[in-house]
Each structure stands twice: as structure tokens, then as C-alpha cells.
Amino acid sequence: MPKTIVSAYHCTDYSKDNIYDIVEKIVKSFGNLFEIIKPKSKVLLKLNLLSAYTPDQAITTHPEIVRAVINIVRKAGAIPVLGDSPGNLVNGIEHVWEKTGMLQLAKEENVELVNFEACGCVEVSIQHPTIKQIYITKAVTDCDAIINLPKLKTHTFMGFTCGVKNFYGVVPGARKVEYHKLSPTPKEFSYLLSEIYRMIREKLLFTIVDGVWGLEGNGPSLSGQKRKYNIIAGSQDTVMLDSFILNRLGINSKNNLLLKPLKEKKLGNTDLENMIYIGDSVSSFNFTKTKLPVTKFLNLLPSWIARFVTKYFGWLFWVKPHIIEKKCVGCLQCMKSCPAKAIEKDKKSLKPVIRKDKCIGCFCCHELCLHKAIEIRESFIASLFIKNEKK
Ligand code: SF4
Ligand code: SF4
């Protein structure tokens, strides 16, 4: 595979001018701006808007990163539009846009916010063991090019989320739950993500990750802990960018579950020896002793061992979601988003109950609960494998 550029700069806050300078330096490291972004083209900026969180919660892409990219797209003479399909839409997309600062930004910069749910979808064929076709938002087919703007976060199900995982948001609304059900293990889910990435790749100009602030621990939402990584990084090869970030987090990218199918399909580089690095010294970024999710040991095990352990020692060795009754407000959003239909409404309390026998351990409920009412618990034996301190 040809060598690819990863460009990364030290950044400690979201001050507008500083962010613009860094983002511009990153884009220029890829080549001539007007050759990268075609004048008059419609460019979709794919954000990470997981749910209705404010920018200071470090869960969603920060508006100042988005503003910088809007201005660079305009400088090239192209037309930027913004969009994502949040996982939790309990109060509607407008509420998500407002909380995440995107509504204000869109007004200030006079840019269109695309509703992935409302703009329609198209059916596409994929190569996957259990899914033959998926629907993706028409926002992807309606644009000429895509720029990917993920947030740097740890992730209980996949280990981490950065460039490639961010594209799951092109699947609109509840279909995300449906496809998750059909690809319940991290391995199957990785194959699904690799197929989505394969579709997007031909339009993808580059990815810039917002890692000034991100999450560590049990991300990607409220249960994660805010972490100042002090980095903004970008690449035209999102797989290489993810590999770089993964290695900074202390995980070898070569056999990573998320990146493996991408490597097999030759959709990008995972070997850092093929990286041309441009930017600040990597020691200026703050990745020392990053807390990984409690589930990290399951992702690190070879899949056949993980399957064996889960099948025969599941009673002894488990990591599962647990509902904290006192915190639960009974909104039942977890029930609606559970791909395995493992959450039921208790007839008496009208609150959710998890059927442990049906739970596939995807942690979507944990990710989407807006009240921090779902925590992750592990058995004593599993806890011996987990070196992370928990708060
Ligand atoms: S656990 Fe969270 S998402 Fe589920 S019903 Fe309770 S508050 Fe709502
Ligand atoms: S209960 Fe939670 S972790 Fe278990 S399958 Fe449902 S959404 Fe996934």
C-alpha cells in the first residue's frame, strides 16, 4: 500500500483563530486546497452528534472545529452542509442541534443543517455474513464529497471510536439498532463498519479528529470521563489516522478488531511504518495512561478465546449493563434502542428490566441513557482482568 500522510498538532483549547490555523495546516499538508476540495462542489461535513450534549461535555464534535472546516471549504469555493444521525433522538433532532451548538453555528455561518432522518435514504448492497442490504441516508448520495469530523473517545463496545466508527451515523435512525442486532459481536460489527466505509471512501476527502478534549474510560457518552488529549489530527486515509490514534492509546493497530477487515479489504493502511507523519512532536499530546473501557480485555482476546470463555464460563466471567433504579426516570429509551430486545418494561414499576439471558453485551443502552442510569458491572473474575481504576 502507498504511504499516507497523518498530520497532527498540539492544541489546548478551542479558540477560534488557533483552531482555524491548525485545521488549515492539516489540510494543506495533503496538497493544494483547490485540488482537494473542488470549487462549487457540495461537501457534507459528517459530524459526531451522538445525542443532545453540550460541547463542554466532550462527547460531540466541537463547533469551533466545524467552523474552521466550513471556512476552509468556502475558501476553496465549495458549499459546506452539516449533518449526522444521532443515536438518541428522544427530544428530536432540533434539540440535538441546539444543545451541541450546531444550530447556533449554522445560523452564524449561514450553512445548511441536513436532517439525515428526513432527507430520505437509499438501499445499498453490502458483503456481510448476515446483512445483504442496508439503508443509508440520501445526504451521502446527494453530496459531491464528504469530510469526516469525529470526536476522539473510548468506546465500551468497540474499544475506541474515531474516524471509521463515525460513519455508522450515515445509517438513519432506528435502522442502526436493526443492523446492530444482525451484527451483535464486535467482529461482525467491524465488518459492517468496513462495508459502510467502503461505500463512503470514494467521496471522502479527509478526516479531521477533534481530540482537544475527548473521553477515556467507559465512553462514548456520559459514563466516559473527560480527557484533554490536546490533539487535532487529520488524514486522507482514515484507517491510518485511526491506527495512529489507537497506537497513541497504547493499543497495537496491526490486529485491532475494528481495523482488521479494513486491512483485509485493502481499504487503508494499518501499519504505521507506512505513515508519513507531519506535525508536532507526538510527545506533546496527552495520551499517557489513558483509561480504556472495562471491556477492553474482551476485545484484546483472540475471538475464538472470547467465544469459548463466554460460552462455557459466562456464569463466572461476565461484563454486563446494570440499571440503577434510583437514577432511572423510566423514559424507556434504552428499551427502544436495545437490538436484542433484552430490555422489558416491568408491569408494576413501569421501569426497564434487563433480561440477562437475551443481552448480547452491545452496551447501546449504556451509551444512550441520558440519565447515567445504566452502569457496567463485571464479575469478580472479570474484574481481576480489568486493570482500570473506576470512578
Ligand atoms: S435506564 Fe436510562 S434510558 Fe432506560 S428508562 Fe431508565 S433513564 Fe431511560
Ligand atoms: S441490554 Fe443493553 S447491552 Fe444488552 S443487548 Fe440490550 S442494549 Fe445491548
Predicted confidence (pLDDT) per residue in 156-215, tens digit? 888 899 999 999 999 998 899 889 889 988 889 999 999 999 999 999 999 999 999 999
Residues 262 and 335 in one domain: no
- pLDDT tens string 114-168: 999 899 999 999 999 999 999 999 999 999 999 999 999 999 888 899 999 999 9
Please report whether residue 311 resides in a domain: yes
Task: Tell me what pLDDT residue 53 has.
Answer: 95
DSSP 55: G
Does residue 390 fall inside a structural domain? no
Give the binding-site residues of ligand 1, using a 6 Å CB cut-off.
323, 328-334, 352, 369, 371, 373-374
What's the chain's average pLDDT? 91
Does a structural domain hold residue 335?
Answer: yes
- pLDDT of 342 reads 94
92 CA → ligand 1 middle, Å: 17
291 domain-assigned = no
pLDDT at 184: 85
- Total Cβ atoms within 10 A of residue 318: 18
How would you class 123 by CB atoms within 10 Å of its CB: exposed for 0-12, middle for 13-18, buried for 19 or more?
Answer: exposed
68 Cα to the center of ligand 1, angstroms: 36
Ligand 2 contact via 105 beta carbon (within 6 Å)? no
Does 48 share its domain with 189?
yes
79 lies in the same domain as 220: yes
Q: Which of 221, 333, 337, 338 has the most ligand 2 atoms within 8 A of CB, as the residue to mutate?
A: 338
Q: Specify the pLDDT at position 296.
A: 67
390 has pLDDT over 50: no
* Residue to substitute in 157, 223, 310, 343 for testing ligand 2 pocket (most ligand atoms within 8 angstroms of CB): 343
Name the residue type at position 262: L
Q: If pLDDT is split at 50, 70 and 90, which confidence band does 317 have?
A: low
**Number of separate domains in the chain:** 2
One domain for residues 321 and 214:
no
Q: What pLDDT shows up at residue 385?
A: 61
Residue 178, domain CATH: 3.40.50.11440
Quick one: 57 and 95 in the same domain? yes
In this structure, is residue 379 part of a structural domain?
yes
Contact call for residues 147 and 208 (beta carbons, < 8 A): yes
Measured between alpha carbons, how far is 308 from 111 in angstroms, rounded to an integer? 51
pLDDT of 264 over the 60 cut: yes
Among candidate residues 257, 284, 311, the one where a domain is terminated: 284
184 and 275, same domain (yes or no): yes
pLDDT for the residue numbered 159:
87
**Is residue 299 scored above 60 in pLDDT?**
no
Task: Give the atom of ligand 2 at the shortest distance from the alpha carbon of 321.
Answer: 3
The enclosing domain of 337 has a CATH number of 3.30.70.20
Distance between Cα 21 and ligand 1 center (Å): 42
Note whether residue 289 is domain-resident. Answer: no
Question: pLDDT of 332-347, one tens digit each?
Answer: 999 998 988 999 999 9
Candidate of 90, 325, 331 to mutate for ligand 1, largest count of ligand atoms within 8 Å of Cβ: 331
Domain-located, residue 391: no
Which pTM was predicted?
Answer: 0.89
Same domain, 328 and 252: no
Q: Residue 69 to residues 74, 149, 155, 233, 367: CA-CA distances in angstroms?
A: 8, 9, 25, 13, 28
For the CA of 341, the nearest atom of ligand 2:
6
What is the predicted pLDDT for the residue at 17?
Answer: 96
Domain identity same for 317 and 259: no
Out of 284, 314, 333, pick the residue that ends a domain.
284
309 membership: H or E segment, kind and range = helix 303-313
CA–centroid distance for 50 within its chain: 8
What is the pLDDT, as a whole number, of residue 307?
62
Q: Does 48 share its domain with 78? A: yes
Question: For a substitution probing ligand 1, which of 369, 372, 376, 377 has the most ligand atoms within 8 Å of its CB?
Answer: 369
pLDDT at 52 over 60: yes
Pocket flag, ligand 2, residue 301 (CB < 6 Å): no
Q: What is the mean pLDDT of residues 232-249?
A: 97
C-beta of residue 4 within 8 angstroms of C-beta of residue 236: yes
Pocket of ligand 2 contains residue 354 by CB under 6 Å: yes
Percent of the chain with pLDDT over 90: 75
Q: Is 353 in the pocket of ligand 2 (CB under 6 A)?
A: no
Q: Percent of the chain scored above 70 by pLDDT?
A: 91
In a domain, 118, yes or no: yes
Exposed e or buried b per residue across 195-211, where buried means at least 16 C-beta atoms within 10 angstroms of its C-beta = bbbebbbebbbbbbbbb
Listing DSSP states for 318-334 in one string gives -EEEEE-TTT-----HH
pLDDT value of residue 357: 86
Dist. CA 213 → ligand 1 center (Å): 27
Beta bridge partners of 370: none
Does residue 300 surpass a pLDDT of 60? no
Same domain, 174 and 54: yes
In this structure, which residue's CA is closest to atom 8 in ligand 2? 362
Could you tell me the distance, in angstroms and rounded to a whole number, from the CA of residue 369 to the centre of ligand 1?
Answer: 5
Which of 249, 284, 319 delimits the end of a domain? Answer: 284
pLDDT band for 15, please (50, 70, 90 cuts): very high
Under DSSP, is residue 163 helix (H, G, I), strand (E, B) or coil?
coil
Ligand 2 pocket residue status of 87, Cβ below 6 Å = no
Q: What is the reported pLDDT for 139? A: 97
Over the stretch 17-28, which tens digit does the pLDDT of each residue have? 999 999 999 999
> Residues 47, 11: one domain?
yes
Residue 389 pLDDT class (50, 70, 90 cuts): very low
The answer to whether the CB of 116 falls within 8 A of the CB of 137 is yes
The residue segments making up the domain with residue 343 are 296-385
Residues 252 and 303 in one domain: no
Distance from residue 368's CA to the centre of ligand 1 (Å): 9
